Structure 1
Amino acid sequence: MVRHFGKHLVSALAVATALGLTGMAMPAAAATLKMAWSQDATGLDPHKQTAFSSIRLLELVYEPLLRTDSELNLAPAIASSWEFSEDGKTLTFKLDPNAKFSNGDKVMPSDVKASFERILDEATSAAARSNFLSIESIDTPDDETVVFNLSQPDVPLLTAMSSINAAIVPESAIEAGTIGTEAIGSGPFTLKSWDPNSKEVLEANPEWAGGTVGVDGIDISVLPDETAILASLRTGQVDFALINDPLVATLVPNNPNLTLNREPVLSYHVLQLNADEGAMKELKVRQAISCAIDRQDVLDAALLGEGKVTGPLTMPAYATDPSELFCYTQDLDKAKELMKEAGYENGFSAKVIAATGEPPTAASEAQVIQSELAEIGIKLDIEMMELNVYVDRWLKGDFDMAVALNGGRTDPYTMYNRYWTKDGNLAHVAHYGDDTLDTLMQEGRVETDPAKRKAIFAEFSKHITEMSPWIWLYTGYSYTASSDKVQGFTADPTGSLFGLSAVTVGE
Structure 2
Amino acid sequence: MNDARSSLARRGFLIATGATALAFTAACGTGTTIPDAKNAAEGAPKQGGRLRAAFAGGGANETLDPHAANLFVDAARAKALFDKLADFGADLAAVPRLAEKWEPNDALDTWKITLRKAAFHDGKPLTAEDVLYSYRRIADPKGTFRAKASLEPIDLDASRALDPSTVEFKLKRPYAEFPNVLAAFGAYIVPKDATAFDKPIGSGPFSFVSFKPGSSLVVKRNDAYWEGAPHLDELEFVVASEESARVSALLGGQVEYAHELNPATARTHEGKGKIEIVRLPGSAMQGFVMKTDRPPFNDPRVRQAFFLIADRKELVDGALSGAGDIGNDLFGKGYQYYPAGLPQRTQDLDKARALLKEAGAEGLKVTLDTAPAATGFVEAAGIFKEQAAKAGVTVEIKVGNKDTYWKDILNNGTFASYRSGAMPIESHISQRLLTGSTTNATKWQHKDFDDLYQQAQSTRDVTQRGALYERMQRRLYDEGGFLIWGFADWIIATAPTVHGVSKQAPANTLDWARFDKIWLA
Structure 1 spans left out of the alignment, 5+ residues: 1-27
Partner of 2:43: none
Q: Which amino acid aligns with 1:383?
A: V
- C-alpha separation between the residues in 2 aligned to 1:445 and 1:161? 16
- C-alpha separation between the residues in 2 aligned to 1:280 and 1:377? 13
Please tell me whether residue 445 in structure 1 is matched to residue 457 in structure 2: yes
Partner of 2:382, secondary structure, is: helix
Please tell me whether residue 248 in structure 1 is matched to residue 269 in structure 2: no
Partner of 1:135: 154
- C-alpha separation between the residues in 2 aligned to 1:50 and 1:420? 23
Q: Which amino acid aligns with 1:324?
A: P
Please tell me whether residue 32 in structure 1 is matched to residue 47 in structure 2: no
How much has 1:414 moved relative to structure 2?
3.0
Partner of 1:12: none
How much has 1:296 moved relative to structure 2?
1.9
Partner of 1:164, secondary structure, is: coil
Per mean C-alpha deviation after superposition, the further-off stretch among 460-469 and 276-285 is: 276-285
**2:115 equivalent among 78, 84, 95:** 95
Partner of 2:297, secondary structure, is: helix
**2:333 equivalent among 293, 314, 317:** 314
Any idea what the Cα deviations from partners look like across 1:362-402, whole Å, max 9, x if unmatched? Answer: 2322221233334443433242544x5345546x5455433
Please tell me whether residue 403 in structure 1 is matched to residue 417 in structure 2: yes
How much has 1:300 moved relative to structure 2?
1.5
Distance 1:332-1:119 versus aligned 2 partners, 3 A rule: farther
- C-alpha separation between the residues in 2 aligned to 1:120 and 1:337? 51
Partner of 1:172, secondary structure, is: coil
Any idea what the Cα deviations from partners look like across 1:326-351, whole Å, max 9, x if unmatched? Answer: xx222333333444444443423424
Q: What does 1:50-65 align with in structure 2 at a 5 Å threshold? A: 54-65=74-85
Q: What does 1:234-245 align with in structure 2 at a 5 Å threshold? A: 234-245=251-262
Please tell me whether residue 217 in structure 1 is matched to residue 229 in structure 2: no
Please tell me whether residue 495 in structure 1 is matched to residue 507 in structure 2: yes
Q: Is the 8 A contact 2:86 2:182 kept in 1?
A: yes
Distance 1:284-1:494 versus aligned 2 partners, 3 A rule: same
Partner of 2:474, secondary structure, is: helix
Partner of 2:166: 145
Partner of 2:494, secondary structure, is: strand
Please tell me whether residue 474 in structure 1 is matched to residue 486 in structure 2: yes
- C-alpha separation between the residues in 2 aligned to 1:62 and 1:332? 52
**2:102 equivalent among 60, 70, 82:** 82
Q: Is the 8 A contact 2:69 2:78 kept in 1?
A: no
- C-alpha separation between the residues in 2 aligned to 1:111 and 1:391? 35
Q: Which amino acid aligns with 1:371?
A: E
Distance 1:370-1:56 versus aligned 2 partners, 3 A rule: farther
Partner of 1:280, secondary structure, is: coil
Q: Is the 8 A contact 1:67 1:162 kept in 2?
A: yes
How much has 1:170 moved relative to structure 2?
5.1
Q: Which amino acid aligns with 1:370?
A: K
How much has 1:254 moved relative to structure 2?
2.5
- C-alpha separation between the residues in 1 aligned to 2:210 and 2:387? 47
Any idea what the Cα deviations from partners look like across 1:442-475, whole Å, max 9, x if unmatched? Answer: 2322333343333222222221122231111112
Partner of 2:24: none
How much has 1:147 moved relative to structure 2?
0.6
**2:473 equivalent among 450, 461, 477:** 461
**1:434 equivalent among 446, 449, 455:** 446
Distance 1:244-1:405 versus aligned 2 partners, 3 A rule: farther
- C-alpha separation between the residues in 1 aligned to 2:204 and 2:165? 18
- C-alpha separation between the residues in 1 aligned to 2:248 and 2:377? 24
- C-alpha separation between the residues in 1 aligned to 2:74 and 2:239? 14
Partner of 2:282: 265
Partner of 1:165, secondary structure, is: coil
Partner of 2:370: 353
Partner of 1:380: 396
Any idea what the Cα deviations from partners look like across 1:244-284, whole Å, max 9, x if unmatched? Answer: 32232234443325333333225321212333445333433
Q: Is the 8 A contact 1:79 1:95 kept in 2?
A: yes
Distance 1:421-1:111 versus aligned 2 partners, 3 A rule: farther
Q: Is the 8 A contact 2:278 2:493 kept in 1?
A: yes
Q: Is the 8 A contact 1:315 1:408 kept in 2?
A: no
| TM-score, structure 1 as length reference | 0.77
Structure 2 spans left out of the alignment, 5+ residues: 1-45
- C-alpha separation between the residues in 2 aligned to 1:362 and 1:57? 28
Partner of 2:484, secondary structure, is: strand
How much has 1:126 moved relative to structure 2?
5.7
- C-alpha separation between the residues in 2 aligned to 1:491 and 1:307? 14
Any idea what the Cα deviations from partners look like across 1:45-78, whole Å, max 9, x if unmatched? Answer: 7557666565445434442211234576654433
Q: Is the 8 A contact 2:370 2:377 kept in 1?
A: no
Per mean C-alpha deviation after superposition, the further-off stretch among 292-301 and 433-442 is: 433-442
Please tell me whether residue 416 in structure 1 is matched to residue 429 in structure 2: yes
Distance 1:72-1:337 versus aligned 2 partners, 3 A rule: closer
- C-alpha separation between the residues in 1 aligned to 2:425 and 2:280? 21
How much has 1:432 moved relative to structure 2?
1.9
- C-alpha separation between the residues in 2 aligned to 1:487 and 1:276? 50
Partner of 2:291: 274
- C-alpha separation between the residues in 1 aligned to 2:87 and 2:138? 18
Any idea what the Cα deviations from partners look like across 1:2-39, whole Å, max 9, x if unmatched? Answer: xxxxxxxxxxxxxxxxxxxxxxxxxx994332222457
Partner of 1:286: 303
Please tell me whether residue 362 in structure 1 is matched to residue 363 in structure 2: no
Q: What does 1:329-344 align with in structure 2 at a 5 Å threshold? A: 329-344=346-361
Per mean C-alpha deviation after superposition, the further-off stretch among 127-136 and 491-500 is: 127-136
- C-alpha separation between the residues in 1 aligned to 2:416 and 2:83? 31
- C-alpha separation between the residues in 2 aligned to 1:172 and 1:397? 39
More helix per residue: 1
- C-alpha separation between the residues in 2 aligned to 1:382 and 1:270? 16
Distance 1:476-1:79 versus aligned 2 partners, 3 A rule: same
Distance 1:323-1:294 versus aligned 2 partners, 3 A rule: farther
Q: Which amino acid aligns with 1:163?
A: A
